[in-house]
Amino acid sequence: MRGELKCRIVTDFPQQRFRRGNTVLIAAAPYSIVGARIQGQTVLLRLAEISDRNVAETLRGKEVTVRREDALKLPAGEFYWHEVIGLSVVDATTQQMLGTVADILETGANDVYVVRTPAGKELLVPAIKDVVKSIDPTTGHMVIEPLAGMLPP
């Protein structure tokens, strides 16, 4: 009614991310947060530039992001999704290029990397230390040690 946007929370830092005065991007346009109410896994965002329901409706289904320079620093060994999606995945044993990270699934226990193989198939890689040996966005590589049966024959 008041032009609030109901958004699914995908950040681990909702209190910091949705603080009054912060800027978010929607379709590459900046919006200033004037209020946020976190309700479980969603947040109701009130933005200075959106005054009514009709304007808010034009943004339905759009992704709410932040500028890279506004992103919070993560601890060593943790990465934002945009840093992982697009990485080339290499087998630690054979040095074979297995594919590219196309998506990340949240399963509860651990994330799962969806790797698109050169043949167009999907390889599901659990984001656990036993499998993922290194992630290096600066070189564009993820090195994994596949579990038995993980790779197609």
Digit-coded pLDDT (tens) for 73-132: 888 888 988 899 999 999 999 999 999 999 999 888 899 999 999 999 999 999 999 999
Q: Whole-model pTM?
A: 0.73
Percent residues over pLDDT 70 in the chain = 99
Count other C-beta atoms under 10 Å from residue 148's C-beta.
Answer: 5
DSSP 8-state assignment for residue 54 = H
Average pLDDT, the chain: 92
pLDDT in the model for residue 116: 97
Mean pLDDT over 53-64 rounds to: 91
For residue 16, what are the CA distances in angstroms to 20, 26, 68, 79, 131? 9, 18, 15, 17, 31
Given a contact cutoff of 8 angstroms between Cβ atoms, the answer to whether 82 and 74 are in contact is no
Please check the confidence at residue 11 and state whether its pLDDT lies above 80.
Answer: yes
Please give the structure tokens belonging to residue 91: 């087998």
> What does the pLDDT read at residue 144?
97
Closest CA to 35 of 57, 5, 58: 5
Residue of 75, 65, 63, 11 whose CA lies nearest to 38:
11
The structural domains of the chain, ordered by start, are: 5-70 (no CATH), 81-144 (2.30.30.240)
- Residue 2: pLDDT band by 50, 70, 90 thresholds? confident
CB of 121 within 8 A of CB of 70?
no
For strands 141-144 and 88-91, give the pairing. Answer: parallel
What mean pLDDT comes out for the span 59-63? Answer: 92
Q: Quick one: pLDDT band at residue 23, thresholds 50, 70, 90?
A: very high
Decide which of 39 and 68 is more confident.
39
Question: What order do you get walking across the sheet with 29-39 strand by strand?
Answer: 5-8, 42-47, 29-39, 23-26, 64-65
65-69, 84-88, 133-137 — which is least confidently predicted?
65-69
Whether the Cβ atoms of residue 18 and residue 33 lie closer than 8 Å to each other: yes
Please provide the size of the chain in residues.
153
